[in-house]
């Protein structure tokens, strides 16, 4: 999924659950920041303290410097949560939508509502949980199970406008041309942007098609054991929205003082959300549809706005901390609480949740 869902859609689901605007903004920002937290830069304090944070994603400009272990430490826990179906380890690492492991992750994180990083942890849970509805069928490690037959991708020409298909195919061609040289030097696929060229990691062989909510498309896996067929993204994204709304309603009931309104029943907003998800446009245009729906009072009612994404401010906070004299001040910063939540999530998934289900990944 992209920012239109991980921030804007997540904010609307949290706010519809009755969570206050400020807290919904933090939750949604944490969800999107999972994709934007790509740097490994540490913060050093004059009093001897330090903040060493691991990335939760990677960007194209880092291809040459990415540690191969980041498949296991980044992609598996944050973007391709294993579904634990099948026999061999690599098959069981394939992400499945709304899997029992995803539900267990969600339920565990809900129990941490009293932690000072509780809101940020809910945002991370929202990102990981939502990704199971878009990344299903692919895994976060280099694997034969991720490979797709060449030229087997097909779009539903009866549903999509010709200009939409032309736009997607053009972006795919530009993507390959821009990063082919970089990815070609890699012995093993280790970056999201390099996925396209080997199909070995994540949904790379399918480019960003799983992340576009309006798309109805199909393809054929190279491995015959893998089921292939039409994928209706808008349907699965709508499922994700409903599950996020349900999770946020649970959070609101558990944690006192986080709501300022009665939750909106999802059934009353389903049709409007479905219309947003089916809109054929770029990420920016899809984002605008969420904003318009809120401004026009079609989802959240009167007096509502969609606040700005806090990610850039968090990065500024981190930069400003470097060289400060008192390390304890960092604890009050939202960016620090995000790193607390991310550290907790990674450790829980890799050291507790997956091993308890017979999966030793890292």
pLDDT digits (tens, 9 = 90+) for 214-225: 999 888 888 766
pTM over 0.95: no
183 pLDDT above the threshold of 50: no
Check residue 179 and give its pLDDT.
Answer: 47
178 pLDDT above the threshold of 70: no
347 pLDDT above the threshold of 50: yes
345 pLDDT above the threshold of 90: yes
Q: How confident is the model at residue 196 (pLDDT cuts 50, 70, 90)?
A: very low
Give mean pLDDT, residues 102-112. 98
Burial code (b: 16+ CB inside 10 Å, e: under 16) for 214-248 equals bbbbebbbeeeebeeeebbbbebbbebbbbbbebb
What span, in angstroms and rounded, lies between the C-alpha atoms of 16 and 208? 28
Check residue 263 and give its pLDDT.
Answer: 98
Check residue 205 and give its pLDDT.
Answer: 52
109 pLDDT above the threshold of 60: yes
Indicate the DSSP class of residue 50.
E
pLDDT tens, residue by residue, 310-322? 999 999 988 888 8
Give mean pLDDT, residues 323-343. 88
pLDDT tens, residue by residue, 24-48? 999 999 999 999 998 877 888 888 8
Q: How confident is the model at residue 333 (pLDDT cuts 50, 70, 90)?
A: confident
Q: Are 273 and 42 in contact (CB under 8 A)?
A: no
Indicate the DSSP class of residue 95.
B
Tell me which of 174 and 6 has the higher pLDDT.
6
pLDDT tens, residue by residue, 113-162? 999 999 999 999 999 999 999 999 988 887 778 778 767 788 888 888 88
Check residue 15 and give its pLDDT.
Answer: 98
Q: Are 125 and 168 in contact (CB under 8 A)?
A: no
163 pLDDT above the threshold of 60: yes
Check residue 67 and give its pLDDT.
Answer: 55
Lowest mean pLDDT among 47-51, 91-95, 144-148, 251-255: 144-148
Q: Are 149 and 222 in contact (CB under 8 A)?
A: yes
Using DSSP's 3-state secondary structure scheme, residue 94 falls into: coil
Give mean pLDDT, residues 267-271. 97
Give mean pLDDT, residues 165-187. 58
Tell me which of 66 and 128 has the higher pLDDT.
128
Lowest mean pLDDT among 20-29, 86-95, 103-112: 86-95
What span, in angstroms and rounded, lies between the C-alpha atoms of 326 and 162? 58
187 pLDDT above the threshold of 60: no
Provide the mean pLDDT of the chain.
86
Edge-to-edge strand list for the sheet holding 154-155: 154-155, 216-218, 231-232
Q: How confident is the model at residue 175 (pLDDT cuts 50, 70, 90)?
A: low
Using DSSP's 3-state secondary structure scheme, residue 210 falls into: helix
């Amino acid at each position: 999924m992209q920012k239109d869902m991980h921030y804007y859609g997540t904010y609307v689901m949290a706010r519809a659950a009755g969570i206050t605007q400020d807290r919904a903004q933090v939750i949604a920002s944490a969800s999107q920041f999972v994709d934007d937290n790509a740097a490994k830069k540490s913060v050093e304090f004059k009093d001897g303290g330090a903040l060493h944070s691991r990335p939760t994603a990677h960007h194209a400009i880092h291809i040459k410097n990415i540690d191969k272990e980041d498949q296991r430490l980044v992609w598996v826990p944050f973007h391709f949560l294993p579904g634990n179906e099948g026999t061999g380890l690599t098959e069981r690492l394939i992400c499945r939508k709304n899997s029992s492991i995803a539900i267990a992750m969600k339920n565990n994180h809900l129990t941490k509502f009293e932690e000072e990083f509780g809101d940020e942890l809910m945002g991370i849970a929202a990102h990981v949980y939502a990704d199971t509805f878009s990344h299903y069928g692919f895994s976060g490690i280099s694997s034969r199970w991720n490979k797709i037959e060449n030229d087997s991708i097909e779009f539903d020409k009866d549903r999509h406008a010709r200009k939409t298909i032309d736009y997607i195919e053009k972006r795919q061609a530009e993507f390959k041309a821009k990063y082919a040289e970089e990815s070609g030097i890699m012995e093993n696929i280790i970056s999201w942007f390099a996925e396209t060229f080997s199909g070995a990691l994540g949904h790379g062989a399918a480019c960003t098609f799983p992340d576009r909510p309006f798309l109805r498309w199909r393809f054929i896996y190279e491995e015959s054991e893998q089921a292939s067929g039409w994928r209706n993204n808008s349907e699965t994204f709508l499922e994700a929205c409903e599950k996020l709304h349900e999770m946020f309603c649970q959070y609101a009931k558990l944690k006192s003082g986080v709501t300022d309104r009665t939750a909106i029943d999802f059934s009353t907003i389903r049709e409007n959300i479905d219309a947003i998800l089916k809109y054929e446009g770029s990420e920016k245009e899809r984002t605008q549809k969420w904003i318009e729906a809120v401004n026009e009072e079609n989802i959240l009612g009167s007096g509502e706005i969609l606040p700005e994404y806090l990610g850039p401010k968090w990065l500024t906070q981190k930069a400003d901390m470097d060289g400060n004299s008192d390390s304890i001040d960092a604890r009050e910063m939202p960016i620090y609480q995000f790193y607390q939540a991310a550290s907790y999530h990674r450790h829980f998934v890799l050291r507790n949740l997956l091993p308890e289900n017979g999966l030793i990944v890292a």
